[in-house]
Amino acid sequence: MTPFHRTRCAALLLAAWALPAWADIGQVKTRKGQVTVERQGQPLPVEVGMVLEAADTLKTGPDGAVGITMRDNSLLSAGPNSILSLQRFEFDPTTSQGRFDAQLQRGTLAVVSGRIARQSPQAMTVRTPAAQLGVRGTDFVVSADD
Amino acid sequence: MTERAPALLLPAWVAQVALVALLGGCASKPQGTVVLLPDGQSRDTAVLVKQDGGELLLDKPYAAAQLTSRGPAAQQSSAEQVQAQFGAALAARPLPPASFTLYFVEGRNEFTAESRRDFDAVFTEIARRPVPDLVVIGHTDTVGSATFNDNLSRQRADVVRNALVARGIAAERIVVVGRGEREPVVPTADNVAEPRNRRVEIQVR
């Protein structure tokens, strides 16, 4: 085994070890009515306690609502007939540096921003089909009409 | 005359339809709403709303933006309006994280008497929540290098994590973080011993 191969193996091992920590970006804390999450093209039923991953898309039915707590303590909750994509979430808990991009494609969303936005006022963005919101902090609501 | 009446009515009817179509075209279609809510902790808070047609800074409680195809229009909303439109989303909001700060007897891995009581309160908070997860964050004062303090803060957090596990909390529900000297309660110059900065915070989410 050449030093190059050793380095590469070590990097792969490190990546495999680091993956679970990065995959866990938040957790479903409340759920009402019909809620699903689309993950890698597959719809999954959402239960309280479910761990979320980057690129997950939450969908609520006509009677549905869902509340999630992200790893940086951001709180997001969506009302009925909503589609919310957690497009990008990166967070270093030691430095509080990170990046959080969410998109509300449809419906209603309430947000309390967390440590990422407090550390870097440019680091959190919520988009709708009509607008881009730069989140300086902390508590706001947004709707995306059809 | 009776034969001409429909011919006279027709243009009026056409004009009405045209007027409605014209008004509909002029009034830009609503695309959504953004409302800044009061921040319970009265910190600086603002949301910058950007659209192709322009941008608008919301920085007062209930300052609102109506999103339109011509850009954001400034409005003033109210608690009642927010409740009417966003009540379901707000009702689904998770409990905010609860924070407990624990201090150690100097030079020992042992809580002060007050912190022992606070430690018990953590378990009351855990019991309130359907799916609690915990973050244990260690902090140091500014004595020693940044790297040294990163490790020390992590070690202090590990002590608290072990105490939680010993009391029956599943280890996989606890995340341990060392924040080092980055977040002092009492800001000091470098290399200043400050007992209030040597602490471990438990966040129950």
Please provide the distance, in angstroms rounded to a whole number, between the alpha carbons at the two ends of chain A: 58
Which range, of A64-73, A105-114, B72-81, B111-120, averages the lowest pLDDT?
A: B111-120
State the DSSP H helix or E strand holding residue A26, giving kind and residue range, or none if neither.
strand A26-32
Interval B13-51: pLDDT, tens: 555 555 555 554 445 678 999 999 998 776 778 999 999
pLDDT at B19: 52
Question: Does the pLDDT value for residue A141 go beyond 80?
Answer: yes
Q: Which of B67, B78, B80, B204 to mutate to test the interface with A (most CBs of A within 10 A)?
A: B67
Q: Which of A48, A67, A137 sits opposite B45 (nearest CB)?
A: A137
Q: Which of B86, B139, B155, B173 to mutate to test the interface with A (most CBs of A within 10 A)?
A: B86
Please give the full DSSP string across B25-86, using - where no structure is assigned.
HHSPPEEEEEEEPPPTT----EEEEEETTEEEEE-STTEEEEEETT--EEEE--HHHHHHHH
- CB pairs below 8 Å between A and B: how many? 161
pLDDT at B18: 53
Interval B53-101: pLDDT, tens: 899 999 999 999 999 999 999 999 999 999 999 999 999 999 999 999 9
Contact criterion met (CB < 8 Å) for B86 and A79: yes
Count the residues in chain A: 146
Q: Is residue B77 part of a domain?
A: yes
Which range, of A14-28, A50-64, A121-135, averages the lowest pLDDT?
A: A14-28
3-state class (DSSP) for residue A133: strand
pLDDT at A108: 98
Nearest CA in chain A to B41: A138
Q: Which of B47, B50, B131 sits opposite A49 (nearest CB)?
A: B131
3-state class (DSSP) for residue A5: helix
Q: Is residue B11 part of a domain?
A: no
Q: Is residue B186 part of a domain?
A: yes
Show the domain range for A131. Answer: 25-144
Question: How many folded domains does chain B comprise?
Answer: 2
Show the domain range for B136. Answer: 98-204
Maximum separation of any 2 CA atoms in chain A, in Å: 60
Question: Does the pLDDT value for residue B118 go beyond 60?
Answer: yes
Question: How many folded domains does chain A comprise?
Answer: 1
Burial of B144 (0-12, 13-18, 19+ CB in 10 A): middle
**CA distances from residue B21 to A91, B17, B24 in whole angstroms, order as listed:** 50, 6, 5
Range B126-138 average pLDDT: 94
Q: Is residue B168 part of a domain?
A: yes
Residues in A closer than 8 angstroms to B178, CB to CB, are 94
Three-state SS string over A31-72 comes to EECCEEEEECCEEEECCCCCEECCCCEEEECCCCEEEEEECC
Q: Is residue B70 part of a domain?
A: yes
Contact criterion met (CB < 8 Å) for B89 and A110: yes
pLDDT at B125: 96
* Residue of B15 and A112 predicted with greater confidence: A112
User: Are the beta carbons of A97 and A137 closer than 8 angstroms?
Assistant: no
CATH number at residue B194: 3.30.1330.60
Q: Is residue A5 part of a domain?
A: no
CA distance A123 to B36: 18
Eight-state DSSP code of residue B156? H
User: Are the beta carbons of A44 and A66 closer than 8 angstroms?
Assistant: no
What pTM value is reported for the model? Answer: 0.82
CA distance B186 to A115: 19
Question: Does the pLDDT value for residue A7 go beyond 90?
Answer: no
pLDDT at B17: 53
Nearest CA in chain A to B149: A94
Range A19-25 average pLDDT: 63
